Structure 1
Amino acid sequence: MILLISDLHLEEERPDISRAFLHFLETRASQAEALYILGDFFEVWIGDDAMTPFQHSIAEALRRLSERGTRIYLMHGNRDFMLGDGFCRAAGCTLLSDPSVVELCGERVLLMHGDSLCTRDESYMRLRRLLRNPFSLLVLRHLPLSTRRKLARKLRNESRTQTRMKATDIIDVTPELIPHVLAEHRVRTLIHGHTHRPATHELLVNGQPAQRIVLGDWDRQGWALQVDESGFHQSSFELG
Structure 2
Amino acid sequence: MNPIYFISDLHLSSVESPTTRSFFDFLDNKISTPASLYILGDLFEVWIGDDDDSELAAVIQSKLTDFASKGNKLFFIAGNRDFLLDKSFAASADIEILEDPCTITFNEMKIIISHGDFLCTHDSEYMDFRKQVRSQAWKDDFLSKPLEERKQIADDMRDASKSASKNKSSEITDVNLNDVDSFLQKEKPDLLIHGHTHRPDLHDLEYGDYSTQRIVLGDWDTFGWCLKLDANGPDLFKFKIE
Same-fold call, TM > 0.5?
A: yes
1:73 aligned residue? 75
**Once structures 1 and 2 are overlaid, which stretch shifts more, 152-161 or 136-145?**
136-145
Give matches, 1:175-194, under 5 Å.
175-194=177-196
1:164 aligned residue? 166
1:221 aligned residue? 223
**CA 1:35 to 1:223, structure 2 compared with 1: closer, same or farther past 3 Å?**
same
Q: For each residue in 1:72-100, what CA deviation from the matched residue of structure 2 results, as whole angstroms up to 9, or x when unmatched? A: 00110000000011111111110011110
1:175, 1:215 → 2: CA distance? 17
2:142 aligned residue? 140
Partner secondary structure for residue 177 of structure 2:
coil
Instruction: Answer yes or no: is 1:112 the counterpart of 2:114.
Output: yes
Instruction: Answer yes or no: is 1:98 the counterpart of 2:108.
Output: no
Given the alignment, which residue of 19, 22, 25 partners 1:20? 22
Q: For each residue in 1:153-175, what CA deviation from the matched residue of structure 2 results, as whole angstroms up to 9, or x when unmatched? A: 11100111111110110000000
CA RMSD of aligned residues (A): 1.3
Partner secondary structure for residue 170 of structure 1:
helix
1:87 aligned residue? 89
Matched pairs, number: 240
Letter in 2 for 1:94: E
**CA 1:117 to 1:14, structure 2 compared with 1: closer, same or farther past 3 Å?**
farther
2:110, 2:49 → 1: CA distance? 32
Q: For each residue in 1:21-43, what CA deviation from the matched residue of structure 2 results, as whole angstroms up to 9, or x when unmatched? A: 00111112352420000000000
Alpha carbons 1:200, 1:213 under 8 Å: kept: yes
Letter in 1 for 2:54: T
What TM-score, normalized by structure 2, do the two folds share?
0.95
Give matches, 1:43-54, under 5 Å.
43-54=45-56
Alpha carbons 1:102, 1:109 under 8 Å: kept: yes
Alpha carbons 1:114, 1:193 under 8 Å: kept: yes
2:38 aligned residue? 36
